[in-house]
Structure 1
Amino acid sequence: MLIVMSLGGSILAGDLDASRFKKYADALLEISKEHKLLIVTGGGVYARKYIEAAHGAGADEATCDFIGIDVTRLNAKILIAALGSAAYPEVPVNYNEAAVAMQFGKIVVMGGVLPGQTTDAVSAALSEYLKADLLLIPTSVDGIYTADPNVDKNAKKYSTMTAAELVQLSAGTSLNAGSKSPVDPIACKLIERGKIRTIVLDGRKIEDLIQVIRQEAKKPQTACCGTIIIP
């Protein structure tokens, strides 16, 4: 399978702990033995700190966006270092470069592309562009819920849902960690348009990534530890 994975900065690089990068690298190396992988890294808390400082210094929104993109690419470079020779050595800066890099048979790691696009949106666009078999979105919750599970004890997790249902759920929803739709609205629309099979799962449990992919390879549309978005 060709798999695109959206690794948000808060999941991968929240505290810039090298061991966290190495643990993810180990899991990705295991997955890459049987599948093609393209990873999109986010900026996380450090991107937000740089953006806040830039705002304070008088930078406009576009400049702040580009600063955030720079941080995502720094995280991509750290993950490439952790992956070693298994990774494509450069960070693609657009979708076409990513497609070319995939031809070398390595794990490709990239960050942001354009202002206004989240890690999820870039990953969804790449999945559509590359005709990926699966989009994985590890988040700080274990799937998509009917309501914020941190606030509403009666919130129920979707084991599966359609892309159209995901779009409807994301409309007007807060995108903070733990919200009922942890995928941003632009990514949701791209998932729907591109008919991209997607799984949202708990990125804090690195072992789940391998389990979910093994399950997908054997028998798609079965229950998993996250929420399956069916095109």
Structure 2
Amino acid sequence: MKKIVLSLGGSILVPALESHTIPEYAEVLKQMARRGQVFVVVGGGGEARRYIGVARSLGINEAASDEIGIMITRINASLLCYALGNAAYPSIATSYQQAREYGESGKIVVMGGVTPGQTTDAVSAVLAESVGADLIINGTSVDGIYSADPKTDRTARRYERMTPQELLGIISGARLDAGSNTVIDIVAAKVVERSGIPLLVIDGRKPENLTAAVCEGTFTGTIVSDGKCTPLPL
């Protein structure tokens, strides 16, 4: 059975309380689970960054601010887990060991952050390595990896395929303080490089993009791979 780890940004899942995509993602994940084993790592998004901002204004250090951000990721993960109902393992995994154990149930495993200083992108990459995943998918707010930030640079170009080494070259200057927000962080990229697990970066704002990629093999995005065949569709 194929194993997929999905990194889902909090701002994708819950952009606002009145306009979230939780029910849509729950249905998509159920479809994926019929084709393989699914692990989902949920980020904190804008809500986590707001709380981290408050923490900093109080003089709280970065490690403690990260702990607060992790709490928010687990709240988002809990919302998704409840929406999945019986399709998901009923508890949020708080460690890689728990995620592996919960995965033995055959149900969808949902988790948030794990360690201060480590983004949920990094968590998804380490989790993928830990469970022997066939693919990592990063659902983000852009449709792939660009040469520069496409939101601010009109000349930025999207890569359809790149190697882990090329990805590291692009993001090597990314910051790692609490609440940092890049398409993928350098820790995750290094784990992708060492594990050899393909990474697919797609626009996660539309849940149907995930369905198309996994079930049909059609998508607009960026594949990060060392040249081996990417296991799509499942």
Question: In the alignment, does 2:38 pair up with 1:43?
Answer: no
Question: In the alignment, does 2:24 pair up with 1:29?
Answer: no
**Which residue in the other structure is 1:54 paired with?**
55
* Separation (CA, whole Å) in 2 of partners of 1:72 and 1:205: 20
* Separation (CA, whole Å) in 2 of partners of 1:74 and 1:197: 28
TM normalised by structure 2 equals 0.89
Query: Residue 230 of structure 1 is aligned with which of 219, 225, 233?
Result: 225
* Separation (CA, whole Å) in 1 of partners of 2:169 and 2:61: 32
SS of the residue corresponding to residue 150 of structure 1 reads coil
Question: In the alignment, does 2:4 pair up with 1:3?
Answer: yes
* Separation (CA, whole Å) in 2 of partners of 1:174 and 1:148: 15
**Which residue in the other structure is 2:231 paired with?**
none
Q: Do the aligned residues in 2 keep the contact of 1:159 with 1:224 (CA within 8 Å)?
A: no
Change in CA separation of 1:2 and 1:92 when aligned onto 2, cut-off 3 Å:
same
What amino acid sits opposite 2:147 in the alignment?
Answer: T
**Which residue in the other structure is 1:104 paired with?**
105
**Which residue in the other structure is 2:199 paired with?**
198
SS of the residue corresponding to residue 77 of structure 2 reads helix
**Which residue in the other structure is 2:135 paired with?**
134
**Aligned-pair CA distance for 1:141:** 0.5
Which string of whole-angstrom CA distances, capped at 9 and with x for unpartnered residues, describes residues 34-62 of structure 1? 11100000111111122222222332222
* Separation (CA, whole Å) in 2 of partners of 1:59 and 1:148: 30
What amino acid sits opposite 1:34 in the alignment?
Answer: R
**Aligned-pair CA distance for 1:75:** 0.6
**Which residue in the other structure is 1:156 paired with?**
157
* Separation (CA, whole Å) in 1 of partners of 2:163 and 2:79: 35
Change in CA separation of 1:148 and 1:54 when aligned onto 2, cut-off 3 Å:
closer
* Separation (CA, whole Å) in 1 of partners of 2:102 and 2:74: 15
RMSD across aligned C-alpha pairs, in angstroms?
A: 1.8
Within-5 A mapping of 1:115-194: 115-173=116-174, 182-194=183-195
Which string of whole-angstrom CA distances, capped at 9 and with x for unpartnered residues, describes residues 120-159 of structure 1? 0000000111110000001111001122223333322111
Q: Do the aligned residues in 1 keep the contact of 2:209 with 2:219 (CA within 8 Å)?
A: no
* Separation (CA, whole Å) in 1 of partners of 2:205 and 2:165: 27
SS of the residue corresponding to residue 159 of structure 2 reads coil
Q: Do the aligned residues in 2 keep the contact of 1:137 with 1:198 (CA within 8 Å)?
A: yes
SS of the residue corresponding to residue 37 of structure 1 reads strand
SS of the residue corresponding to residue 146 of structure 2 reads coil
Change in CA separation of 1:162 and 1:106 when aligned onto 2, cut-off 3 Å:
same
Name whichever of 166-175 and 4-13 sits farther off: 166-175
TM normalised by structure 1 equals 0.90
* Separation (CA, whole Å) in 1 of partners of 2:149 and 2:35: 36
Which string of whole-angstrom CA distances, capped at 9 and with x for unpartnered residues, describes residues 168-207 of structure 1? 1111147976x6xx11111111110111111000011211
SS of the residue corresponding to residue 6 of structure 1 reads strand
* Separation (CA, whole Å) in 2 of partners of 1:154 and 1:36: 39
What amino acid sits opposite 1:172 in the alignment?
Answer: G
SS of the residue corresponding to residue 116 of structure 1 reads coil
Number of aligned residues? 222
Change in CA separation of 1:152 and 1:55 when aligned onto 2, cut-off 3 Å:
closer
Name whichever of 76-85 and 47-56 sits farther off: 47-56
* Separation (CA, whole Å) in 1 of partners of 2:204 and 2:43: 13
Please list every run of 5 or more consecutive structure 2 residues that lacks an aligned counterpart in the other structure: 227-234
* Separation (CA, whole Å) in 1 of partners of 2:55 and 2:192: 32
Name whichever of 207-216 and 69-78 sits farther off: 207-216
